[in-house]
A and B are shown apart, each in its own frame.
Chain A
Amino acid sequence: MVTPLSSQLIDLCAAVLLLLSFSMLSQRRVLTLVDLFALQGGTLFVSIVVVAWNTHQYQLFYSAALTLVLKVIFLPLILNRLIRRLGAQWETETLLNASATMLIGLLLVIFAFTLAEPISRLASTITRSTLGIALAIVMLSFLMMITRRKAVTQVIGFLAMENGLFFAATSATYGMPMVVELGVALDVLVGMVILGVFFFHIREQFDSLDLHNLESLKED
């Protein structure tokens, strides 16, 4: 019954990550969403450090540092500045109302947990029970991208999904090879810059960041 403290800490981090995913799903204000994203990155950082410390996988410290710099400090800073300059901090209309979204989110969590259960029974890492939660975070971020209309919130959903994937990688196999991790980090960074440029173009073209406008292919 009693499990070692490190494993309990990782479970706690996983639970907090899941909680943050749900609050991101139900959050309407964009700036709060960015804060929540930064908090998610911070929790991810703590969990990676705990895993690295306990399994003596010291290359994980590099990915922890990468997470801290990129996802807790740098990306939220860029997002904050972008949102302020775009003046997009107020509304985020959702396609579904919050209760329905949360209900679908709950079903996704059940799905993810059942899906991950046989896999994690085979694994032998100390983090194996958190695989279901990592999968749930990926799915919830995906749901967030689907239910939001604005470009900025979709990008935040995309970044949160990357957080979930990162967590899945550490919980399933103690992290990916360093080259892959660096590549992904660079991809996210470059993607962020390109999307930032896109935001301005979309707004210039349509006078709003609502992606709904991109659906009509013809001008009439």
Chain B
Amino acid sequence: MNTRAFTMQLIAIAFAIIVAPLLIGWVNQCRAWLQNRRGPGILQPYRLIRKLFHKDAVIATNASPLFRLVPYVQFASMGLAAGIIPSLWTGLPFADAADTIALVGLFATARMFLALAAMDIGTAFGSMGARREMLVGFLAEPALLMVFFTASLISHSTSLPTMVNVLAHGPLAIYPSLAFASISFLMVLLAENARIPVDNPSTHLELTMIHEATVLEYSARHLALIEWASALKLFNYVCIGFALFVPWGLAQGLGNLPDLAIAVPALFIKLVAVGFGLALVETINAKMRIFRVPEFLASAFLLAVLGLLVHLLLGH
């Protein structure tokens, strides 16, 4: 039984790692369609990663070992996060060791290492990007924590699988507090994954880029790992959103075959819908000025706090 749990855990992580670029590809494809372009196809991220792995890495002469290490740290922490977040079934042994607060910490660790690596070379763009990344991060983090607290007040637990079990398999109820939390979470998701109202993932314009500026010095396999890690980060965030707000379809426990036969198509249907929704949000919104970002994230935080308050007032 124990080895089975462990194998299932490894399968869950491997599944997330393999599927993650597909989500980015689908979002980009939808964006292309909405902009009347044909689009590169949803397999493009895989092609990009393969191409990058075949190239030779170029590293600045004054780079410290930290600079080489960071892509692996990024990838590893996002992979670990995928092991905590239930995407197909809730019986994850790793999730017993780390709850949602540890999960936020894991994201923060990855962000800190990325900022350190960006400042390591000493170029102006790198440190500017690092500063902006930390600005966005330190405002988004409390909002994310508040979203988690709202959900944990409902389920009386800070562990994601328990939340899913309570929300999906408990008595069906409408939670107004979760409506607030979901809007707040969407705002945090857009900010943390460098999506359009906050950051444009496909620009190299020096005045506006945030995430791109921090990874400007990377090439080849390092860049491939970082791209893959950001795809995984988006996948992780989307799966957190599913777990908190639309948990239906997830298999309970380790998942027997009939449950998985529902869970896999359910996940893909949700991913298709959310990918299209993300593309829509990114198409109808313009990128905001960087000085508006604190305002944007402050509203996310306030909405999450409102969710908490509404929960306390209404009692459910």
Contacts and interface: CB of A to CB of B under 8 A. Distances in A.
Nearest to A116: B313
B174 A12 contact: yes
Interface in B160-177: 171, 173-174, 176-177
Contact of A106 (B171, B177, B305, B312): B305
A72 B314 CA distance: 27
B177 A15 contact: yes
A40 interface: no
Nearest to B311: A15
A124 interface: no
Tell me the interface secondary structure of chain B in the complex.
helix
Interface stretch (B257-265, B272-280, B292-300): B292-300
A26 B171 CA distance: 36
A11 B176 contact: yes
A19 B315 contact: no
Q: Tell which of A26, A99, A105 has the most Cβ of chain B within 10 Å.
A: A99
Q: Tell which of A9, A15, A26, A117 has the most Cβ of chain B within 10 Å.
A: A15
Nearest to B297: A99
Given A2-B171, A2-B173, A97-B295, A129 B179 contact: no
A216 interface: no
B299 A16 contact: no
A18 B306 contact: yes
A74 B171 CA distance: 41
A132 interface: yes
A68 interface: no
Closest 6 CB pairs of A and B: A15-B176, A8-B174, A99-B298, A2-B171, A102-B302, A12-B176
25 contacts: A1-B171, A2-B173, A3-B316, A8-B173, A8-B174, A11-B176, A12-B176, A12-B179, A15-B176, A15-B179, A15-B310, A16-B176, A19-B179, A19-B180, A19-B183, A22-B303, A98-B295, A98-B298, A99-B298, A99-B299, A103-B298, A110-B309, A113-B312, A129-B313, A133-B313
Given A12-B176, A15-B314, 13 more contacts: A5-B174, A9-B174, A11-B176, A11-B314, A16-B176, A19-B180, A99-B295, A99-B298, A103-B302, A110-B309, A129-B313, A129-B314, A133-B313
